[in-house]
Amino acid sequence: MKKILLLLSFLGAFTVVKAQDDMLSSLGSTDEPDYSSATFKSTRLVNQHTIEVCGPHTLDFRISHRFGAINACSDNAWGMDGTANIRLGLEYSPNGRLMFGLGRSSSEKLVDGFLKYRLLRQRTDGGMPVSVTLFAGAYYTTLKDLNKGVTGFDRYEKTAYRFSYCYELLIGRKFSKSFSFQVAPYFVHYNLVDLKTDKNNAYGVSALFRLKFTARAAITAEYAYRMSDYTSAKTRSEGDPYYDSFSIGYEVETGGHVFQIMFTNSFGMAESQFFQHTTSKWNDAGIRLGFNISRVFTIGGKSVEPVFETH
């Protein structure tokens, strides 16, 4: 709780800074501030959300795919023949500041929805050194309890048991034309957990970066550190079965498409899955190949424009 209050205090401080900045702007020049653009090339890096929001009246259609783990060996073509996770999503921003989206993943038959709001934007004149975006997500599983006939009860008896939630404060900075970095404290709540000793609340912090080496291509990486123990090792014969999520990717932009290919140890693509429920690790080849494809459309009869500026 202390960490949550501290997080809210930081958020309040950023809001005060923004209000002071707006007041000074009204007293001084009326010129539009020169904001830093294209900190990241997409609203997501690999699994994690970035500070970016779609442009005004822009619809983003996303296809994401994760193959099986490489340690499945040659019998399963090193994960290519294994169980895959596919997510389809639609995301829209009416004004370039507020954004909302809806998606469906095959893993856990999960439906996810989210809201993002761009609170602050980095300025090139040093008036605001970072960009800050707020994120809130809700997740609903449509799975059926296959053990109902054995146990005699349905674990999803109440609709509320199917829901989980995530909240993030995304703080990013574009240090140069080639390098961008983001840090994001997060909080996840599960209405239902697997064991009585598992915790409903979990929190941590994630970090990610993008290193551009050509005009349209970049190397990306993201890591999520679990600051709290989601489950008690005493209740698991093998100890804690969960690991920190870590991904490395390659990103290329081609017109209105952004294509990302990556290696990750996370099978799930929703925050309620990869932040606390990553069950494989890198050092035993428990990683999987995956890709994201993003295609943007401008709604309202206007010509299609890039979601983010390129300079």
For tokens 């957990």, name the residue.
193
Please tell me the pTM assigned to this model.
Answer: 0.83
Q: For residue 192, count CB atoms less than 10 angstroms from its CB and return exposed for 0-12, middle for 13-18, buried for 19 or more.
A: middle
What per-residue confidence (pLDDT) applies to 116? 98
What's the mean pLDDT in 157-184? Answer: 96
**3-state SS, residue 242:** coil
Write the pLDDT tens digit of every residue in 75-132: 767 667 778 999 999 999 999 999 999 999 999 999 999 999 999 999 998 889 999 9
Which residues fall within 8 angstroms of residue 288, CB to CB, at 6 or more apart? 66, 67, 68, 69, 70, 79, 263, 264, 265, 267, 280
Segment holding 86, helix H or strand E: strand 85-93
Q: Return the CATH fold of 33-145+152-298.
A: Porin (2.40.160)
Q: For residue 142, count CB atoms less than 10 angstroms from its CB and return exposed for 0-12, middle for 13-18, buried for 19 or more.
A: exposed
d(CA 256, CA 218): 16
What per-residue confidence (pLDDT) applies to 195? 83
What per-residue confidence (pLDDT) applies to 239? 59
Write the pLDDT tens digit of every residue in 16-68: 444 444 433 434 444 678 899 889 999 999 999 999 999 999 999 999 999 98
What per-residue confidence (pLDDT) applies to 238? 56
Strongest mean pLDDT among 15-19, 52-56, 181-185, 254-258: 181-185
Amino acid found at 176 = S
